[in-house]
Structure 1
Amino acid sequence: MGEAQETFRLVDLGPQDPFQAFGRMPVLGSNVHNGAGPIMTTSVWGATHLNVGWFDDVDATLDLARCRELGVQVIRRPVYGGGTAFYEAGSAVMWSWLLPKETQPDLDVSLARFQPVITDALQRLGLDSAVFEGSSDLRFNGRKLGALSAQDVVLCNSVGGFINNRPPDLDTYLQVVRVPDDKFKDKAVKDMREYVVTAEEIRGKALPYEEFRDALVAATEAAGFDLHEEPLTDDENRGVQKIAGKIALDESVRRISSDRFRAQAPAGSRVGFGNEKGRKLCRAGVAVDAGGTIVAAMMAGDMHVGPPDVLDRTAAALVGADSERADDLRARIAGVFEAEDVHQPDALMGVTTDDLLKAVQRAVGSATS
């Protein structure tokens, strides 16, 4: 891995709220896209909030009305996949490597390239008992410590993740969370409190952000990467403010919403939803008319795939299909999902046409039963 040195700009973002976090990524990604070279970032959550994955059905994972009652901030991550997560200020540390698509186009290769860096960092932190399991999780005795994922985020490719460094107060989260069917199908534990483990719990002592950052930087340099620290510029910070305000708007949070889908279904149609747990969770919603034709469709899940409109286009392709013809349903899904512009880390965390098809068929079954 360290045959030739590769230089990364290192940006220590420190504590950041979700508006800063998801406003900064497009700005930095644009720099990578425009030839400024790869960028590495480290950060820690500086504000308590819930964030919803780009493809997540928000109503399957959260009770939004209860969130409003409790005053819990909810945002939807722009472009980035994955599931819905609760973050308390200071309870999770994060990192990313933003990579030029031209020189590092293969997401599986990039993910495999950086997994040993994370393993080394964990060893330096006394967390060597945590291992990669499943599609992207870092787990300790079956409990989730964090994750590392790769995704095409339009302007560049991203390999990034997080570690739960100290226990959050889950009481509020447990009042608003909804766990989709099959979400924990491949997990050793089913209870949300038991499912999460923290670095502090494993080590028996606190893991400050600075210690995490220094260990990850040391592991990255030990792997043969040259890091050049450079903070955000004034221009970059101004760009962040233009983006940050959009992610908490209702139209963004409810971008994929089963409640809205049901309410907007054509009159006289029957609505159903279905899940399929492949490497990641796939969810479908369909509205079927009296003749068995799909007249509206919704696709969702916690997958990491790009471009960001791929599931919207997949849903649109299903409209007009005979809900009982599996061959036609599969062909319509494949026509979008297997196109050359669709990218995901196939071998390690990819979902398939057949995963999506099974979710659609379950949704059809729910609608017509």
Structure 2
Amino acid sequence: MEREQWRWLDLGRQGPYENAAVMPVLVRSVLEQGKPILQTSIWGETHLNVGWFDDVDSTLDLQRCEELDIAVMRRSFYGGGTAYYQAECSMMWGFLLPKDIQILGVSTNDLDALLAKFQVLFSDALRRIGLSEVQFEGSSDLRWNGRKLGALTAQDVVACVSIGGFLNLAPPDLTTYLQVVRIPEDKFKDKIVKDMTEYVCTAEQVVGHPVSYEQLRDAIIESMSAAGVDLELSALSPGEAKGVAKASGRVGSPESIRRISSDQFLLDAPSGSCCGFGNFKGRKLCRAGVALAPDGRVLAAMMAGDMHVSPPDVMDRVAAALTGAASSNTDDLRQRISTVFEAEDVHQADQLMGVTTEDLLAAVLVAVQAAASIPTDATKDENPT
């Protein structure tokens, strides 16, 4: 097989806003240049990192974050849950791949096959630094004895395909995190270890000695070379650097952080409505919110979760489709969801980490039940649910 030529950016220590801003810029470069990119980096600043579809109020106490002066940002277009990253404790990587081509013998249009291929590649990298006991479990987790020390996910990010992830290198101090975190109901339904302090694991704990960013980075490079990829080390171009500087100010804005917010949903709900929220855990967590009229009609809806799905507005479109539905008509609710979520433009790794219409519907039905259980004389203005 002919060796593949990729571009590699070793971005080193990065702050949260810089990291979030660089990804859309590199995605555009992949689209324009048609050349795969590997980027590697390590968190250089402690912060909280919210997934694109996550309901921020179900995962974080934002007021407490502000009181403790903890940086919070929302990833642009990338799904997954809300994560706490301490400086120097976690490495990140991203394989950004052009669409409609073959990478390592796999079509980049087949997210399941692509993710399976990179799981093999990354397992080889872990073996090289003594982490062969670490296994892929659940939808995307890297776990050791039921404890999570990282993840590898696949997502269509519209302009290209992203296979990205992180690995905890050293134990973070979770004292601050535990003061602000909120664990959504059912989040840990599929996990053996339920306690957050026990659930988080690191490479250092597995091998019994420190594992550096440089060691894991070099292991990934060696595994890619063995798989047939030649990497050309480069820096951001002047145009890319300018784009990163321009975008970095947006990802930490209040508007971005509260893009999906149950607190904001309650504030915006029509007067006289009853609001309820519900979760359902399939391969990924699905969350719904509904505002019901006295006759049971859906006046407004919110859809959220830690899924990895494209396009980035798909959950907003599902929520919009539910507006006007009779909440008691399950068949109509299912049809409204499937019309959006099963359309040809919706793309995800279905077999390994995909969510389904039935998953979303289950969350909606829990939310409807929660809203319907509110006394009829308790309107939105009186009810802080």
Q: Following TM superposition, by how much is the alpha carbon of 1:4 offset from its aligned partner in structure 2, in angstroms?
A: 3.7
Measured against aligned partners, the alpha-carbon deviations of 1:39-72 in whole angstroms (never above 9, x if no partner) come to: 0111100111001000000000000000000000
State yes or no: 1:331 paired with 2:324.
no
Q: Following TM superposition, by how much is the alpha carbon of 1:36 offset from its aligned partner in structure 2, in angstroms?
A: 3.6
- Looking at structure 1, the residues matched to 205 and 242 of structure 2 have their Cα atoms a distance apart, in angstroms, of 39
Aligned to 1:355: 359
SS of corresponding position for 2:325: coil
Among 9, 13, 16, the alignment partner of 2:14 is 16
Between the two proteins, the alignment pairs up a number of residues equal to 367
- Looking at structure 1, the residues matched to 244 and 213 of structure 2 have their Cα atoms a distance apart, in angstroms, of 23
1:238-249 correspondence to structure 2 within 5 Å: 238-249=242-253
- Looking at structure 2, the residues matched to 278 and 309 of structure 1 have their Cα atoms a distance apart, in angstroms, of 21
Unaligned runs of 5+ in 1: none
Aligned to 1:106: 110
- Looking at structure 2, the residues matched to 352 and 343 of structure 1 have their Cα atoms a distance apart, in angstroms, of 11
SS of corresponding position for 2:33: coil
TM-score (norm 1): 0.98
- Looking at structure 1, the residues matched to 260 and 16 of structure 2 have their Cα atoms a distance apart, in angstroms, of 19
TM-score (norm 2): 0.94
Among 316, 341, 366, the alignment partner of 1:312 is 316
Q: Following TM superposition, by how much is the alpha carbon of 1:152 offset from its aligned partner in structure 2, in angstroms?
A: 1.0
- Looking at structure 1, the residues matched to 269 and 4 of structure 2 have their Cα atoms a distance apart, in angstroms, of 52
Aligned to 2:48: 50
SS of corresponding position for 1:271: strand
Q: Give the letter for the 1:181 counterpart.
A: E
Q: Following TM superposition, by how much is the alpha carbon of 1:35 offset from its aligned partner in structure 2, in angstroms?
A: 2.8
Among 17, 29, 33, the alignment partner of 1:31 is 29
Q: Is the contact between residue 53 and residue 304 of structure 2 (CA under 8 Å) also seen in structure 1?
A: yes
- Looking at structure 2, the residues matched to 4 and 147 of structure 1 have their Cα atoms a distance apart, in angstroms, of 30
- Looking at structure 1, the residues matched to 98 and 112 of structure 2 have their Cα atoms a distance apart, in angstroms, of 15
Q: Following TM superposition, by how much is the alpha carbon of 1:110 offset from its aligned partner in structure 2, in angstroms?
A: 1.3
1:223-262 correspondence to structure 2 within 5 Å: 223-262=227-266
Q: Give the letter for the 1:185 counterpart.
A: K
- Looking at structure 2, the residues matched to 281 and 6 of structure 1 have their Cα atoms a distance apart, in angstroms, of 36
- Looking at structure 1, the residues matched to 120 and 6 of structure 2 have their Cα atoms a distance apart, in angstroms, of 17
Q: Following TM superposition, by how much is the alpha carbon of 1:126 offset from its aligned partner in structure 2, in angstroms?
A: 0.5
State yes or no: 1:282 paired with 2:286.
yes
Measured against aligned partners, the alpha-carbon deviations of 1:139-182 in whole angstroms (never above 9, x if no partner) come to: 00000010000001122110010000001110000000000000
Q: Following TM superposition, by how much is the alpha carbon of 1:102 offset from its aligned partner in structure 2, in angstroms?
A: 2.2
State yes or no: 1:118 paired with 2:116.
no
- Looking at structure 2, the residues matched to 254 and 21 of structure 1 have their Cα atoms a distance apart, in angstroms, of 19
SS of corresponding position for 2:179: helix
SS of corresponding position for 1:171: coil
Aligned to 2:377: none
1:70-89 correspondence to structure 2 within 5 Å: 70-89=68-87
Q: Following TM superposition, by how much is the alpha carbon of 1:205 offset from its aligned partner in structure 2, in angstroms?
A: 0.8
Aligned to 1:191: 195
Aligned to 1:344: 348
Aligned to 2:204: 200
- Looking at structure 2, the residues matched to 102 and 307 of structure 1 have their Cα atoms a distance apart, in angstroms, of 17
- Looking at structure 2, the residues matched to 181 and 34 of structure 1 have their Cα atoms a distance apart, in angstroms, of 42
- Looking at structure 2, the residues matched to 233 and 76 of structure 1 have their Cα atoms a distance apart, in angstroms, of 25
Q: Following TM superposition, by how much is the alpha carbon of 1:234 offset from its aligned partner in structure 2, in angstroms?
A: 2.2
Among 35, 57, 60, the alignment partner of 1:59 is 57
Q: Following TM superposition, by how much is the alpha carbon of 1:19 offset from its aligned partner in structure 2, in angstroms?
A: 1.2
SS of corresponding position for 1:284: strand
Q: Give the letter for the 2:71 counterpart.
A: Q
Aligned to 1:95: 93
- Looking at structure 2, the residues matched to 125 and 349 of structure 1 have their Cα atoms a distance apart, in angstroms, of 27
- Looking at structure 1, the residues matched to 132 and 150 of structure 2 have their Cα atoms a distance apart, in angstroms, of 13
Unaligned runs of 5+ in 2: 102-107, 374-385
Q: Give the letter for the 1:332 counterpart.
A: R
Q: Give the letter for the 1:174 counterpart.
A: L
Aligned to 2:179: 175
Measured against aligned partners, the alpha-carbon deviations of 1:178-236 in whole angstroms (never above 9, x if no partner) come to: 00000000000111000000001111111111111101100111111121111212221
Q: Is the contact between residue 10 and residue 39 of structure 2 (CA under 8 Å) also seen in structure 1?
A: yes
After TM superposition, the structure 1 stretch with the greater mean CA deviation from structure 2, 104-113 or 320-329, is 104-113
Aligned to 1:144: 148
- Looking at structure 2, the residues matched to 292 and 303 of structure 1 have their Cα atoms a distance apart, in angstroms, of 28
Q: Give the letter for the 2:315 counterpart.
A: L
Q: Give the letter for the 2:83 counterpart.
A: A
Aligned to 2:304: 300
